[in-house]
Chain A
Protein backbone atom coordinates (compact mmCIF):
# COMPACT_ATOMS: atom_id res chain seq x y z
CA UNK A 1 0.00 0.00 0.00
CA UNK A 2 1.22 3.50 -0.84
CA UNK A 3 -0.26 6.98 -0.52
CA UNK A 4 -0.80 7.61 -4.21
CA UNK A 5 -4.33 6.50 -4.92
CA UNK A 6 -7.35 7.61 -2.87
CA UNK A 7 -9.69 5.05 -4.43
CA UNK A 8 -7.33 2.24 -3.52
CA UNK A 9 -6.96 3.41 0.09
CA UNK A 10 -10.71 3.90 0.47
CA UNK A 11 -11.45 0.38 -0.85
CA UNK A 12 -8.74 -1.22 1.31
CA UNK A 13 -10.00 0.50 4.47
CA UNK A 14 -13.62 -0.39 3.68
CA UNK A 15 -12.73 -4.04 3.08
CA UNK A 16 -10.63 -4.25 6.24
CA UNK A 17 -7.46 -5.01 4.28
CA UNK A 18 -5.77 -2.14 6.09
CA UNK A 19 -6.96 0.10 8.93
CA UNK A 20 -7.41 3.86 8.68
CA UNK A 21 -4.97 4.09 11.58
CA UNK A 22 -2.29 2.23 9.62
CA UNK A 23 -2.83 4.55 6.64
CA UNK A 24 -2.60 7.62 8.90
CA UNK A 25 0.58 6.32 10.54
CA UNK A 26 2.10 5.82 7.10
CA UNK A 27 1.22 9.39 6.08
CA UNK A 28 2.57 10.80 9.36
CA UNK A 29 5.86 8.90 8.89
CA UNK A 30 6.27 10.30 5.40
CA UNK A 31 5.50 13.84 6.64
CA UNK A 32 7.99 13.40 9.47
CA UNK A 33 10.61 12.28 6.96
CA UNK A 34 10.05 14.81 4.16
CA UNK A 35 8.44 17.92 5.62
CA UNK A 36 11.59 19.38 7.16
CA UNK A 37 13.09 19.78 3.68
CA UNK A 38 9.93 20.50 1.70
CA UNK A 39 8.01 22.73 4.12
CA UNK A 40 4.66 21.51 2.82
CA UNK A 41 2.87 21.64 6.18
CA UNK A 42 2.51 24.36 8.79
CA UNK A 43 0.58 22.29 11.35
CA UNK A 44 0.30 18.55 11.79
CA UNK A 45 -1.27 17.21 15.00
CA UNK A 46 -0.38 13.51 14.89
CA UNK A 47 -2.25 12.66 18.10
CA UNK A 48 -5.49 14.10 16.73
CA UNK A 49 -4.93 12.36 13.39
CA UNK A 50 -4.50 8.96 15.03
CA UNK A 51 -7.52 9.49 17.25
CA UNK A 52 -9.63 10.50 14.27
CA UNK A 53 -8.50 7.54 12.14
CA UNK A 54 -9.35 5.24 15.04
CA UNK A 55 -12.89 6.63 14.91
CA UNK A 56 -13.06 5.82 11.18
CA UNK A 57 -11.97 2.26 11.89
CA UNK A 58 -14.88 1.88 14.31
CA UNK A 59 -17.32 3.47 11.84
CA UNK A 60 -16.42 1.32 8.83
CA UNK A 61 -17.44 -1.74 10.81
CA UNK A 62 -21.01 -0.45 10.44
CA UNK A 63 -20.80 0.32 6.73
CA UNK A 64 -18.67 1.60 3.88
CA UNK A 65 -17.61 5.24 3.78
CA UNK A 66 -16.92 7.01 0.47
CA UNK A 67 -13.56 8.40 1.65
CA UNK A 68 -12.82 5.85 4.39
CA UNK A 69 -9.49 6.64 5.99
CA UNK A 70 -8.21 8.73 3.08
CA UNK A 71 -5.67 11.34 4.28
CA UNK A 72 -6.40 14.85 2.98
CA UNK A 73 -3.98 17.78 3.29
CA UNK A 74 -5.88 21.05 3.79
CA UNK A 75 -4.59 24.48 2.80
CA UNK A 76 -4.12 26.60 5.89
CA UNK A 77 -6.70 29.18 4.83
CA UNK A 78 -9.57 26.70 5.32
CA UNK A 79 -10.99 26.69 8.85
CA UNK A 80 -10.64 23.51 10.89
CA UNK A 81 -12.31 23.38 14.28
CA UNK A 82 -9.79 23.18 17.14
CA UNK A 83 -6.89 22.96 14.67
CA UNK A 84 -4.75 26.06 14.15
CA UNK A 85 -5.46 27.91 10.89
CA UNK A 86 -2.82 30.54 10.15
CA UNK A 87 -3.38 31.54 6.49
CA UNK A 88 0.43 31.61 6.36
CA UNK A 89 0.29 34.87 8.34
CA UNK A 90 1.78 36.15 11.60
CA UNK A 91 -1.49 37.94 12.23
CA UNK A 92 -3.26 34.55 12.58
CA UNK A 93 -0.28 32.60 13.94
CA UNK A 94 -2.24 31.36 16.94
CA UNK A 95 -5.76 31.36 15.52
CA UNK A 96 -7.74 28.23 16.40
CA UNK A 97 -11.11 28.32 14.61
CA UNK A 98 -14.18 27.50 16.70
CA UNK A 99 -15.90 26.00 13.62
CA UNK A 100 -15.26 23.86 10.54
CA UNK A 101 -15.53 25.03 6.95
CA UNK A 102 -18.41 23.33 5.13
CA UNK A 103 -15.92 21.34 3.02
CA UNK A 104 -14.28 19.99 6.20
CA UNK A 105 -17.65 18.95 7.65
CA UNK A 106 -18.46 17.16 4.39
CA UNK A 107 -15.09 15.42 4.14
CA UNK A 108 -15.25 14.22 7.73
CA UNK A 109 -18.74 12.89 7.20
CA UNK A 110 -17.41 10.96 4.17
CA UNK A 111 -14.72 9.36 6.37
CA UNK A 112 -11.66 11.37 5.31
CA UNK A 113 -8.83 12.13 7.74
CA UNK A 114 -7.49 15.72 7.77
CA UNK A 115 -3.78 14.93 7.95
CA UNK A 116 -2.46 18.48 8.40
CA UNK A 117 -2.61 22.11 7.38
CA UNK A 118 -0.68 22.90 4.24
CA UNK A 119 1.59 25.88 3.72
CA UNK A 120 0.53 28.74 1.45
CA UNK A 121 1.36 32.28 0.51
CA UNK A 122 0.06 34.64 3.17
CA UNK A 123 -3.74 34.95 2.72
CA UNK A 124 -3.25 33.09 -0.59
CA UNK A 125 -1.52 36.11 -2.11
CA UNK A 126 1.36 34.93 -4.24
CA UNK A 127 2.47 32.49 -6.91
CA UNK A 128 5.35 30.71 -5.18
CA UNK A 129 4.49 30.02 -1.49
CA UNK A 130 7.48 32.22 -0.62
CA UNK A 131 5.10 34.75 0.94
CA UNK A 132 4.29 32.36 3.80
CA UNK A 133 5.28 34.04 7.07
CA UNK A 134 6.69 30.70 8.29
CA UNK A 135 8.79 29.10 5.52
CA UNK A 136 8.66 28.55 1.76
CA UNK A 137 7.53 25.24 0.27
CA UNK A 138 10.13 23.64 -1.98
CA UNK A 139 9.60 21.77 -5.22
CA UNK A 140 10.10 18.01 -4.71
CA UNK A 141 11.63 17.73 -8.22
CA UNK A 142 14.24 20.44 -7.50
CA UNK A 143 14.67 21.65 -3.93
CA UNK A 144 16.11 24.99 -5.10
CA UNK A 145 12.92 25.82 -6.93
CA UNK A 146 9.50 27.00 -5.83
CA UNK A 147 6.48 24.76 -5.49
CA UNK A 148 4.28 27.37 -7.11
CA UNK A 149 1.48 29.00 -5.21
CA UNK A 150 -0.38 30.05 -3.43
CA UNK A 151 -1.47 26.44 -2.68
CA UNK A 152 2.15 25.17 -2.85
CA UNK A 153 1.93 23.11 0.35
CA UNK A 154 -1.18 21.29 -0.85
CA UNK A 155 0.36 20.45 -4.25
CA UNK A 156 3.63 19.26 -2.68
CA UNK A 157 1.82 17.14 -0.07
CA UNK A 158 0.28 15.18 -2.96
CA UNK A 159 3.34 15.24 -5.24
CA UNK A 160 5.68 14.01 -2.48
CA UNK A 161 3.26 11.25 -1.42
CA UNK A 162 2.38 12.64 1.99
CA UNK A 163 -1.34 12.48 1.16
CA UNK A 164 -3.25 11.27 -1.91
CA UNK A 165 -5.68 14.20 -1.78
CA UNK A 166 -5.44 17.86 -0.90
CA UNK A 167 -7.61 20.94 -0.80
CA UNK A 168 -6.22 24.20 -2.08
CA UNK A 169 -7.94 27.42 -3.00
CA UNK A 170 -7.88 29.53 -6.14
CA UNK A 171 -8.35 33.21 -6.69
CA UNK A 172 -6.17 33.55 -9.81
CA UNK A 173 -4.48 30.21 -10.54
CA UNK A 174 -3.32 29.22 -7.06
CA UNK A 175 -4.06 25.51 -7.54
CA UNK A 176 -3.46 24.96 -11.25
CA UNK A 177 -0.03 26.64 -11.25
CA UNK A 178 1.46 24.63 -8.32
CA UNK A 179 -0.20 21.48 -9.76
CA UNK A 180 1.62 22.19 -13.02
CA UNK A 181 4.92 22.87 -11.22
CA UNK A 182 4.63 19.66 -9.16
CA UNK A 183 3.24 17.09 -11.64
CA UNK A 184 -0.18 16.61 -10.01
CA UNK A 185 -3.77 17.31 -11.07
CA UNK A 186 -5.44 20.48 -9.75
CA UNK A 187 -8.98 21.55 -10.60
CA UNK A 188 -10.47 24.97 -10.06
CA UNK A 189 -14.23 24.41 -10.09
CA UNK A 190 -16.78 26.92 -11.40
CA UNK A 191 -17.38 29.83 -9.05
CA UNK A 192 -20.16 28.75 -6.70
CA UNK A 193 -19.76 24.99 -7.27
CA UNK A 194 -18.15 24.53 -3.83
CA UNK A 195 -19.19 26.39 -0.67
CA UNK A 196 -16.77 29.08 0.50
CA UNK A 197 -18.07 28.97 4.07
CA UNK A 198 -14.99 28.71 6.28
CA UNK A 199 -12.54 29.62 3.52
CA UNK A 200 -10.78 32.73 4.81
CA UNK A 201 -11.85 35.43 2.35
CA UNK A 202 -9.33 36.98 -0.05
CA UNK A 203 -11.35 38.17 -3.08
CA UNK A 204 -14.91 37.05 -2.57
CA UNK A 205 -16.06 37.26 -6.20
CA UNK A 206 -13.18 35.00 -7.30
CA UNK A 207 -12.30 32.60 -4.43
CA UNK A 208 -12.89 28.85 -5.01
CA UNK A 209 -11.90 25.86 -2.88
CA UNK A 210 -10.16 23.49 -5.29
CA UNK A 211 -9.22 19.77 -5.17
CA UNK A 212 -5.77 18.31 -5.91
CA UNK A 213 -4.83 14.64 -6.51
CA UNK A 214 -2.46 12.51 -8.55
CA UNK A 215 -5.06 11.55 -11.17
CA UNK A 216 -8.35 12.94 -12.51
CA UNK A 217 -10.45 10.12 -10.98
CA UNK A 218 -9.28 11.03 -7.48
CA UNK A 219 -9.96 14.71 -8.19
CA UNK A 220 -13.49 13.70 -9.22
CA UNK A 221 -13.88 11.71 -6.00
CA UNK A 222 -12.84 14.67 -3.85
CA UNK A 223 -14.98 17.14 -5.82
CA UNK A 224 -18.03 14.89 -5.47
CA UNK A 225 -17.90 15.16 -1.68
CA UNK A 226 -17.19 18.89 -1.37
CA UNK A 227 -19.49 20.25 -4.12
CA UNK A 228 -23.06 21.44 -3.78
CA UNK A 229 -25.30 24.13 -2.38
CA UNK A 230 -24.71 25.33 1.18
CA UNK A 231 -27.16 27.69 2.83
CA UNK A 232 -24.26 29.32 4.70
CA UNK A 233 -22.77 30.58 1.40
CA UNK A 234 -25.38 32.45 -0.62
CA UNK A 235 -23.09 32.38 -3.69
CA UNK A 236 -22.99 28.56 -3.77
CA UNK A 237 -25.19 27.49 -6.67
CA UNK A 238 -28.40 25.48 -6.19
CA UNK A 239 -27.54 23.05 -9.01
CA UNK A 240 -27.38 19.28 -8.38
CA UNK A 241 -23.87 17.76 -8.29
CA UNK A 242 -23.52 15.54 -11.39
CA UNK A 243 -22.18 11.99 -11.31
CA UNK A 244 -18.63 12.79 -12.44
CA UNK A 245 -17.77 9.10 -12.85
CA UNK A 246 -20.66 8.60 -15.28
CA UNK A 247 -19.37 11.67 -17.17
CA UNK A 248 -15.87 10.18 -17.27
CA UNK A 249 -17.16 6.93 -18.76
CA UNK A 250 -18.33 8.77 -21.89
CA UNK A 251 -16.00 8.80 -24.91
CA UNK A 252 -13.89 11.85 -25.83
CA UNK A 253 -13.81 10.99 -29.52
CA UNK A 254 -15.40 13.80 -31.49
CA UNK A 255 -14.91 16.44 -28.80
CA UNK A 256 -14.04 19.84 -30.23
CA UNK A 257 -11.08 21.50 -28.51
CA UNK A 258 -10.16 25.15 -28.95
CA UNK A 259 -6.59 26.44 -28.96
CA UNK A 260 -6.63 30.10 -27.87
CA UNK A 261 -3.90 31.80 -29.89
CA UNK A 262 -3.42 34.53 -27.24
CA UNK A 263 -2.06 31.87 -24.84
CA UNK A 264 0.91 31.05 -27.08
CA UNK A 265 2.44 34.46 -27.64
CA UNK A 266 5.41 36.38 -26.32
CA UNK A 267 6.77 35.30 -22.94
CA UNK A 268 5.98 31.59 -23.32
CA UNK A 269 9.10 29.53 -22.63
CA UNK A 270 10.00 27.61 -25.85
CA UNK A 271 10.45 24.30 -24.02
CA UNK A 272 7.08 24.66 -22.24
CA UNK A 273 5.53 25.55 -25.60
CA UNK A 274 6.90 22.44 -27.27
CA UNK A 275 5.71 20.16 -24.42
CA UNK A 276 2.22 21.71 -24.59
CA UNK A 277 2.12 21.36 -28.38
CA UNK A 278 2.92 17.66 -28.03
CA UNK A 279 0.13 17.38 -25.46
CA UNK A 280 -2.29 19.07 -27.84
CA UNK A 281 -1.34 16.69 -30.66
CA UNK A 282 -1.95 13.78 -28.29
CA UNK A 283 -5.58 14.86 -27.87
CA UNK A 284 -5.92 14.66 -31.63
CA UNK A 285 -4.88 11.03 -31.55
CA UNK A 286 -7.66 10.49 -28.98
CA UNK A 287 -10.08 11.52 -31.72
CA UNK A 288 -10.62 15.13 -30.67
CA UNK A 289 -10.88 17.85 -33.26
CA UNK A 290 -8.74 20.98 -32.83
CA UNK A 291 -10.03 24.46 -33.61
CA UNK A 292 -8.11 27.72 -33.39
CA UNK A 293 -9.88 30.22 -31.13
CA UNK A 294 -9.34 33.84 -30.17
CA UNK A 295 -9.87 35.32 -26.69
CA UNK A 296 -9.02 38.92 -27.59
CA UNK A 297 -9.29 40.43 -24.10
CA UNK A 298 -6.74 38.05 -22.55
CA UNK A 299 -4.05 40.76 -22.68
CA UNK A 300 -6.01 42.84 -20.17
CA UNK A 301 -6.58 39.98 -17.73
CA UNK A 302 -3.66 40.59 -15.35
CA UNK A 303 -4.41 44.31 -15.08
CA UNK A 304 -8.08 43.52 -14.53
CA UNK A 305 -7.30 40.89 -11.91
CA UNK A 306 -4.85 43.12 -10.05
CA UNK A 307 -7.56 45.72 -9.56
CA UNK A 308 -10.45 43.41 -8.67
CA UNK A 309 -8.58 41.02 -6.36
CA UNK A 310 -6.73 43.67 -4.29
CA UNK A 311 -9.87 45.85 -4.08
CA UNK A 312 -11.86 42.97 -2.60
CA UNK A 313 -8.90 41.96 -0.43
CA UNK A 314 -8.51 45.44 1.05
CA UNK A 315 -12.11 45.24 2.18
CA UNK A 316 -11.97 41.62 3.41
CA UNK A 317 -8.73 42.11 5.33
CA UNK A 318 -10.10 45.10 7.23
CA UNK A 319 -11.30 42.54 9.79
CA UNK A 320 -7.76 41.96 11.08
CA UNK A 321 -7.67 44.72 13.65
CA UNK A 322 -6.32 43.01 16.75
CA UNK A 323 -9.74 42.89 18.41
CA UNK A 324 -11.60 39.65 17.70
CA UNK A 325 -8.81 37.16 17.01
CA UNK A 326 -5.19 36.93 16.04
CA UNK A 327 -2.22 39.07 16.88
CA UNK A 328 -2.44 42.36 18.82
CA UNK A 329 0.54 44.62 19.27
CA UNK A 330 1.61 44.92 22.94
CA UNK A 331 0.94 48.18 24.83
CA UNK A 332 -0.95 50.23 22.24
CA UNK A 333 -1.16 53.98 23.00
CA UNK A 334 -4.77 54.13 21.83
CA UNK A 335 -7.22 52.36 19.52
CA UNK A 336 -5.87 53.85 16.26
CA UNK A 337 -2.31 53.04 17.28
CA UNK A 338 -3.40 49.48 18.04
CA UNK A 339 -4.98 49.07 14.58
CA UNK A 340 -2.04 50.56 12.71
CA UNK A 341 0.80 48.79 14.49
CA UNK A 342 -1.06 45.46 14.73
CA UNK A 343 -1.66 45.42 10.98
CA UNK A 344 1.80 46.72 10.08
CA UNK A 345 3.54 44.07 12.19
CA UNK A 346 1.06 41.27 11.49
CA UNK A 347 0.92 41.44 7.69
CA UNK A 348 3.80 40.66 5.34
CA UNK A 349 4.99 42.85 2.44
CA UNK A 350 2.83 41.36 -0.33
CA UNK A 351 -0.37 41.51 1.71
CA UNK A 352 0.30 45.16 2.56
CA UNK A 353 1.03 45.89 -1.09
CA UNK A 354 -2.31 44.45 -2.17
CA UNK A 355 -4.26 46.17 0.60
CA UNK A 356 -2.68 49.45 -0.55
CA UNK A 357 -3.49 48.88 -4.25
CA UNK A 358 -7.03 47.90 -3.35
CA UNK A 359 -7.54 50.83 -1.00
CA UNK A 360 -6.29 53.16 -3.71
CA UNK A 361 -8.57 51.61 -6.37
CA UNK A 362 -11.60 51.97 -4.10
CA UNK A 363 -10.78 55.39 -2.70
CA UNK A 364 -13.01 58.39 -3.28
CA UNK A 365 -12.77 59.68 -6.86
CA UNK A 366 -11.04 56.55 -8.21
CA UNK A 367 -13.72 53.87 -7.75
CA UNK A 368 -15.28 54.19 -11.23
CA UNK A 369 -11.92 54.65 -12.98
CA UNK A 370 -10.48 51.47 -11.45
CA UNK A 371 -12.89 48.98 -9.85
CA UNK A 372 -15.90 50.08 -11.96
CA UNK A 373 -13.93 49.81 -15.19
CA UNK A 374 -12.31 46.52 -14.12
CA UNK A 375 -15.75 44.94 -13.59
CA UNK A 376 -16.75 46.00 -17.11
CA UNK A 377 -13.56 44.56 -18.61
CA UNK A 378 -14.37 41.42 -16.66
CA UNK A 379 -17.64 41.19 -18.61
CA UNK A 380 -15.67 41.36 -21.88
CA UNK A 381 -13.32 38.58 -20.72
CA UNK A 382 -16.32 36.42 -19.83
CA UNK A 383 -17.96 37.16 -23.20
CA UNK A 384 -14.79 35.98 -24.98
CA UNK A 385 -15.28 32.60 -23.28
CA UNK A 386 -19.04 32.54 -23.94
CA UNK A 387 -18.32 32.94 -27.66
CA UNK A 388 -15.56 30.30 -27.59
CA UNK A 389 -17.80 27.71 -25.93
CA UNK A 390 -20.40 28.15 -28.65
CA UNK A 391 -17.83 26.56 -30.96
CA UNK A 392 -15.89 24.11 -28.77
CA UNK A 393 -16.34 21.77 -25.77
CA UNK A 394 -13.09 22.73 -24.05
CA UNK A 395 -9.91 24.76 -24.50
CA UNK A 396 -6.27 23.67 -24.19
CA UNK A 397 -3.33 25.87 -23.22
CA UNK A 398 -0.24 26.10 -21.03
CA UNK A 399 -0.86 26.70 -17.29
CA UNK A 400 2.15 28.90 -16.72
CA UNK A 401 4.60 30.53 -19.16
CA UNK A 402 7.58 28.87 -17.44
CA UNK A 403 8.31 25.80 -15.34
CA UNK A 404 9.02 26.24 -11.60
CA UNK A 405 11.37 29.18 -11.07
CA UNK A 406 14.16 29.46 -8.52
CA UNK A 407 13.45 30.48 -4.93
CA UNK A 408 13.97 34.22 -4.60
CA UNK A 409 13.99 34.82 -8.35
CA UNK A 410 10.86 36.98 -8.46
CA UNK A 411 10.61 38.20 -4.87
CA UNK A 412 12.03 41.67 -5.53
CA UNK A 413 9.80 42.31 -8.55
CA UNK A 414 6.10 41.96 -7.64
CA UNK A 415 4.91 42.73 -11.17
CA UNK A 416 7.02 39.90 -12.67
CA UNK A 417 5.41 37.54 -10.14
CA UNK A 418 1.94 38.81 -11.11
CA UNK A 419 2.62 38.26 -14.82
CA UNK A 420 3.30 34.56 -14.21
CA UNK A 421 -0.50 34.18 -13.68
CA UNK A 422 -1.29 35.30 -17.24
CA UNK A 423 -2.84 32.00 -18.45
CA UNK A 424 -4.78 31.19 -15.30
CA UNK A 425 -6.53 34.38 -14.12
CA UNK A 426 -9.08 34.59 -16.94
CA UNK A 427 -10.83 31.39 -15.76
CA UNK A 428 -11.26 32.97 -12.32
CA UNK A 429 -12.57 36.23 -13.76
CA UNK A 430 -15.04 34.34 -15.97
CA UNK A 431 -15.98 31.85 -13.21
CA UNK A 432 -15.36 28.82 -15.44
CA UNK A 433 -13.80 25.49 -14.38
CA UNK A 434 -10.24 24.74 -15.39
CA UNK A 435 -7.63 22.14 -14.49
CA UNK A 436 -3.97 21.30 -14.86
CA UNK A 437 -3.04 17.75 -15.85
CA UNK A 438 0.58 16.48 -16.05
CA UNK A 439 1.89 16.85 -19.61
CA UNK A 440 5.65 16.35 -19.53
CA UNK A 441 9.03 17.27 -18.06
CA UNK A 442 11.65 19.72 -19.27
CA UNK A 443 15.18 18.51 -20.05
CA UNK A 444 16.12 19.95 -16.66
CA UNK A 445 13.63 17.61 -14.97
CA UNK A 446 10.84 20.08 -14.17
CA UNK A 447 7.15 19.22 -14.58
CA UNK A 448 4.87 21.00 -17.04
CA UNK A 449 1.08 20.84 -16.84
CA UNK A 450 -1.48 21.13 -19.63
CA UNK A 451 -4.39 23.45 -18.88
CA UNK A 452 -7.93 22.47 -19.86
CA UNK A 453 -10.85 24.90 -19.58
CA UNK A 454 -14.57 24.30 -20.04
CA UNK A 455 -17.81 26.22 -19.83
CA UNK A 456 -19.42 27.05 -16.49
CA UNK A 457 -20.47 23.95 -14.49
CA UNK A 458 -18.90 21.64 -17.08
CA UNK A 459 -16.48 20.06 -14.58
CA UNK A 460 -17.67 16.69 -15.91
CA UNK A 461 -16.48 17.55 -19.43
CA UNK A 462 -13.09 18.61 -18.08
CA UNK A 463 -12.66 15.50 -15.96
CA UNK A 464 -13.69 13.26 -18.87
CA UNK A 465 -11.07 14.85 -21.11
CA UNK A 466 -8.38 14.88 -18.42
CA UNK A 467 -9.03 11.25 -17.47
CA UNK A 468 -8.83 10.08 -21.10
CA UNK A 469 -5.68 12.16 -21.57
CA UNK A 470 -3.95 10.94 -18.39
CA UNK A 471 -4.67 7.30 -19.26
CA UNK A 472 -3.53 7.58 -22.87
CA UNK A 473 -0.48 9.76 -22.23
CA UNK A 474 1.00 8.89 -18.83
CA UNK A 475 3.94 11.12 -17.95
CA UNK A 476 7.23 9.42 -17.17
CA UNK A 477 8.34 11.33 -14.06
CA UNK A 478 11.93 11.41 -12.82
CA UNK A 479 12.42 10.30 -9.19
CA UNK A 480 11.56 12.80 -6.44
CA UNK A 481 14.50 14.56 -4.80
CA UNK A 482 13.25 13.47 -1.39
Chain B
Protein backbone atom coordinates (compact mmCIF):
# COMPACT_ATOMS: atom_id res chain seq x y z
CA UNK B 1 0.00 0.00 0.00
CA UNK B 2 1.35 3.41 -0.96
CA UNK B 3 1.51 5.95 1.84
CA UNK B 4 1.16 9.62 1.01
CA UNK B 5 2.84 12.61 2.59
CA UNK B 6 -0.59 13.76 3.81
CA UNK B 7 -1.21 10.45 5.58
CA UNK B 8 2.18 10.64 7.27
CA UNK B 9 1.33 14.15 8.46
CA UNK B 10 -1.98 12.90 9.82
CA UNK B 11 -0.30 10.09 11.76
CA UNK B 12 2.29 12.56 13.08
CA UNK B 13 -0.58 14.68 14.32
CA UNK B 14 -2.16 11.70 16.10
CA UNK B 15 1.22 10.82 17.66
CA UNK B 16 1.84 14.45 18.71
CA UNK B 17 5.03 14.60 16.66
CA UNK B 18 6.27 17.22 14.25
CA UNK B 19 8.71 16.76 11.37
CA UNK B 20 10.61 19.33 9.33
CA UNK B 21 10.11 19.26 5.56
CA UNK B 22 13.50 17.56 5.08
CA UNK B 23 12.85 14.98 7.78
CA UNK B 24 9.53 14.25 6.17
CA UNK B 25 11.12 13.49 2.76
CA UNK B 26 13.35 10.76 4.21
CA UNK B 27 10.65 9.60 6.54
CA UNK B 28 7.99 8.95 3.89
CA UNK B 29 10.45 6.75 1.96
CA UNK B 30 11.55 4.78 5.05
CA UNK B 31 7.97 4.42 6.22
CA UNK B 32 7.01 3.03 2.82
CA UNK B 33 9.84 0.43 2.94
CA UNK B 34 8.78 -0.74 6.36
CA UNK B 35 5.10 -0.92 5.38
CA UNK B 36 5.97 -2.87 2.23
CA UNK B 37 7.88 -5.32 4.39
CA UNK B 38 5.18 -5.83 7.00
CA UNK B 39 2.56 -6.26 4.25
CA UNK B 40 3.79 -9.86 3.85
CA UNK B 41 1.75 -10.81 6.92
CA UNK B 42 -1.27 -10.63 4.59
CA UNK B 43 -0.04 -13.89 2.99
CA UNK B 44 -0.59 -15.83 6.21
CA UNK B 45 -3.85 -17.69 6.63
CA UNK B 46 -5.07 -16.61 10.06
CA UNK B 47 -8.64 -17.78 9.71
CA UNK B 48 -9.71 -19.51 12.94
CA UNK B 49 -6.38 -18.64 14.64
CA UNK B 50 -6.96 -16.96 18.01
CA UNK B 51 -4.86 -13.86 18.83
CA UNK B 52 -2.09 -14.10 21.46
CA UNK B 53 -1.74 -11.02 23.62
CA UNK B 54 -0.27 -12.70 26.71
CA UNK B 55 2.04 -15.69 26.43
CA UNK B 56 2.45 -16.67 30.07
CA UNK B 57 -1.04 -17.13 31.44
CA UNK B 58 -1.14 -19.93 33.99
CA UNK B 59 -4.47 -21.81 34.26
CA UNK B 60 -5.24 -20.16 37.62
CA UNK B 61 -4.26 -16.69 36.41
CA UNK B 62 -7.41 -15.00 37.62
CA UNK B 63 -6.44 -15.80 41.17
CA UNK B 64 -3.22 -13.82 40.73
CA UNK B 65 -4.31 -11.13 38.29
CA UNK B 66 -7.00 -9.76 40.54
CA UNK B 67 -6.72 -8.66 44.13
CA UNK B 68 -8.67 -6.69 46.65
CA UNK B 69 -8.44 -2.94 46.10
CA UNK B 70 -6.59 -2.17 49.31
CA UNK B 71 -4.89 1.11 50.08
CA UNK B 72 -1.10 0.65 50.02
CA UNK B 73 1.58 3.17 50.93
CA UNK B 74 2.54 5.29 47.90
CA UNK B 75 5.09 7.96 47.07
CA UNK B 76 4.78 11.24 48.95
CA UNK B 77 3.47 14.10 46.76
CA UNK B 78 6.76 16.06 46.95
CA UNK B 79 8.72 13.08 45.62
CA UNK B 80 6.21 12.48 42.83
CA UNK B 81 6.52 16.10 41.75
CA UNK B 82 10.30 16.33 42.09
CA UNK B 83 10.97 15.37 38.45
CA UNK B 84 8.26 17.60 36.95
CA UNK B 85 9.48 20.45 34.70
CA UNK B 86 7.01 22.78 36.42
CA UNK B 87 4.81 22.35 39.46
CA UNK B 88 3.12 24.33 42.19
CA UNK B 89 0.72 23.89 45.13
CA UNK B 90 1.05 20.10 44.91
CA UNK B 91 0.11 19.93 41.22
CA UNK B 92 1.79 19.63 37.81
CA UNK B 93 1.69 23.02 36.09
CA UNK B 94 1.02 23.25 32.32
CA UNK B 95 0.29 26.10 29.87
CA UNK B 96 -3.19 27.57 30.08
CA UNK B 97 -5.76 25.19 28.57
CA UNK B 98 -8.92 27.27 28.44
Contact = CB atoms under 8 A, between A and B. Distances in A.
A338 interface: yes
Contacts of A134: none
B71 interface: no
The interface centre, meaning the residue of B11, B38, B64, B84 with most chain A CB atoms within 10 A of its CB, is B38
Given A98-B82, A323-B84, A370-B38, A229 B64 contact: yes
A382 B58 contact: no
Interface stretch (A158-166, A230-238, A249-257, A393-401): A230-238
Given A372-B51, A414-B34, A99 B75 contact: yes
A117 B27 CA distance: 32
B41 A374 contact: yes
Contacts of B8: 356
Interface in A428-470: 429-431, 456
A303 B85 contact: no
Given A96-B83, A238-B64, A306-B37, A338 B94 contact: yes
Interface residues of B, number: 50
Contacts, number: 165
A357 B85 contact: no
A416 B92 CA distance: 42
Interface stretch (A10-18, A107-115, A324-332): A324-332
A313 to B, nearest CB: 11
B58 A375 contact: no
A307 B41 contact: yes
B60 to A, nearest CB: 8
Interface string A313-329: 01000100111111110
7 nearest A-B residue pairs (beta carbon): A431-B55, A375-B51, A192-B56, A328-B85, A325-B83, A376-B46, A98-B79
25 contacts: A97-B83, A99-B75, A191-B56, A192-B55, A192-B56, A234-B65, A237-B56, A238-B64, A323-B84, A325-B84, A334-B97, A340-B18, A356-B12, A360-B11, A360-B35, A363-B11, A370-B41, A372-B51, A375-B52, A375-B53, A376-B46, A376-B51, A382-B52, A415-B30, A415-B34
Interface of B: 8, 11-12, 14-19, 27, 30-31, 33-35, 37-42, 44, 46, 49-56, 58, 60, 63-65, 67, 75, 79-80, 82-86, 92, 94-97
Given A238-B58, A324-B92, A357-B35, 17 more contacts: A191-B56, A192-B56, A303-B40, A304-B41, A324-B83, A325-B85, A340-B17, A357-B31, A360-B31, A372-B51, A373-B42, A373-B46, A375-B51, A376-B49, A377-B41, A382-B55, A430-B55
